[in-house]
Amino acid sequence: MTEKLLEVNNLKTSFKIGSEYFPAVDDVSLSIQPNEVLALVGESGSGKSATAFSLMGLHRKTRIEGEVNFQGQNLLKLNEGKMNKIRGGDLAMIFQDPMTALNPLMKIKQQIIETLKIHNTKAKNERESYAVELLDRVGIPRPDRVAEAYPHELSGGMRQRVVIAIAIANRPKLLIADEPTTALDVTIQAQILDLIRELQDDLNSGVLLITHDLGVVAEMADRVAVMYAGQIVEVAPVRELFKNPQHPYTRSLLNSLPTEAMLGSKLHVIQGVVPALNKMDRTGCRFAPRIPWVPAFTHEKNPKLREIADDHYVRCTCYKNFSLGSEAPQNIDAEEYQLETGARGGSVR
Ligand SMILES: Nc1ncnc2c1ncn2[C@@H]1O[C@H](COP(=O)(O)OP(=O)(O)OP(=O)(O)O)[C@@H](O)[C@H]1O
């Protein structure tokens, strides 16, 4: 059996809106192995960051249920003191915006030294030279000078390299990268992604890579989890997902990507938006309102993620007869459909 570095079971993170709690992450289960990159992909508002923040224990005023098993313990059960020992140590995060991730009033070297101190990684007299070494490791030219700089003196790409240096300072086993290149120019993006891949290989770490960019997924991921409206709707190895996508949401996302073959033709647009937390129907297929041409009976009630091929999981039976937009078959027979899918009383056995 393959060793699991992280195993998340039925994670549910709810935010309070008015006097009620509404789940932004709803029954999410996933796992990551050492040296594996799992991409978590989905539109804005699908719950990717809420998942990452829940794993890191960074949410306040939320209700979090489920299990986050990491190194033999459920992180959701740890108190703040114990969590602080893990966070920034074996479990580290690269944030979306390097400017807000860094302290504007502290020299770069001091920010790296702080994390070394907290985790007792190096002896006091070695910390400064190790900070410079780390800056060098993440490809910063003249690392000794940059160590003495403040964040505002650096470019966005350099700042993100510093954030990465801090994240890897204590050789994390698991790295969570939340849209690590969104705030950067395209040319810099590729360099940062290469760097993350290289460091991950060096450290043999698992990576949870959060992105809405399918190009980044194709380049970086080993496996992909597609998230929609708080739920994972499809999980598969990266090649399988791109070659053989099943869930209507995954197929819609992939079809909205420009390819050479589509030059001159219109891109597919997914109509509508991810529903607001307090406005969503939580009993059926959450993507159903955005594919209204798909007959209602092809959707399940309370759909679950099921393995449809080796290591390939899909939520809801609607994928079986889905076609994009107007190509939708108009003549599916409900009874035949049920016979074919085995859907009885709303679920597939
Ligand atoms: N602190 C909060 N209080 C209330 N609702 C929140 C809070 N944080 C996030 N949400 C809601 O939870 C849902 C998921 O948000 P989240 O930021 O996780 O999405 P995302 O997929 O990471 O999007 P993006 O790519 O834009 O960061 C959204 O409906 C969002 O409005």
Burial 158-170 (b: 16+ CB within 10 A, else e): bbbbbbbbbbbbb
Mean pLDDT of the residues in the chain = 88
Render pLDDT for 140-157 as a digit per residue (tens, 0 to 9): 999 999 999 999 999 999
Q: How far is the CA of 96 from the centre of ligand 1 (A)?
A: 14
212 lines ligand 1 (CB under 6 A): yes
* Structure confidence at residue 225 (pLDDT): 98
* Structure confidence at residue 262 (pLDDT): 65
Choose which residue among 20, 41, 48, 226 to substitute to test ligand 1 binding: the one with the highest number of ligand atoms within 8 A of its C-beta.
Answer: 48
57 lines ligand 1 (CB under 6 A): no
Sequence-distant (≥ 6) Cβ neighbours of residue 304 within 8 angstroms:
315, 347
50 lines ligand 1 (CB under 6 A): yes
24 lines ligand 1 (CB under 6 A): yes
DSSP codes joined into one string, 275-321: PPGGG---SS-TTGGG-TTS-GGGSPSS--EEEEETTEEEESGGGGG
Structural contact between residues 54 and 40, judged by C-beta atoms closer than 8 angstroms: no
**What is the pLDDT confidence band of residue 342, given thresholds at 50, 70 and 90?**
very low
Query: Which run of H or of E encompasses 62?
Result: strand 62-70
Which residue lies with its CA nearest to atom 5 of ligand 1? 15
Task: For this complex, say whether ipTM is above 0.90.
Answer: yes
> Per-residue pLDDT for 135 more than 70?
yes
Percent share of the chain, pLDDT over 90: 68
- Cα angle for residues 108, 112, 118 (degrees, 5° grid): 145
Q: How far is the CA of 113 from the centre of ligand 1 (A)?
A: 32
Choose which residue among 46, 56, 273 to substitute to test ligand 1 binding: the one with the highest number of ligand atoms within 8 A of its C-beta.
Answer: 46
Ramachandran region of residue 344, left (φ > 0), alpha (ψ -120 to 50) or beta?
A: beta
Render pLDDT for 47-100 as a digit per residue (tens, 0 to 9): 999 999 999 998 878 999 999 999 989 999 999 999 999 999 999 999 888 888
Render pLDDT for 309-336 as a digit per residue (tens, 0 to 9): 999 999 999 999 888 865 444 444 445 4
* CA nearest to 266, candidates 276, 256, 275: 256
42 lines ligand 1 (CB under 6 A): yes
- pTM, 2 dp: 0.89
> Per-residue pLDDT for 341 more than 50?
no
**What is the pLDDT confidence band of residue 121, given thresholds at 50, 70 and 90?**
confident
**Whole-angstrom Cα distance, residue 71 to residue 6?**
7
Render pLDDT for 251-283 as a digit per residue (tens, 0 to 9): 999 988 777 666 677 767 788 888 899 988 889
Which residue lies with its CA nearest to atom 1 of ligand 1? 15
Q: How far is the CA of 66 from the centre of ligand 1 (A)?
A: 19
Of ligand 1's atoms, which has the minimum distance to the CA of residue 210?
22
> Per-residue pLDDT for 30 more than 60?
yes
> Per-residue pLDDT for 184 more than 70?
yes
* Structure confidence at residue 328 (pLDDT): 44
Q: How far is the CA of 272 from the centre of ligand 1 (A)?
A: 17
**What is the pLDDT confidence band of residue 12, given thresholds at 50, 70 and 90?**
very high
Choose which residue among 11, 12, 14, 15 to substitute to test ligand 1 binding: the one with the highest number of ligand atoms within 8 A of its C-beta.
Answer: 15
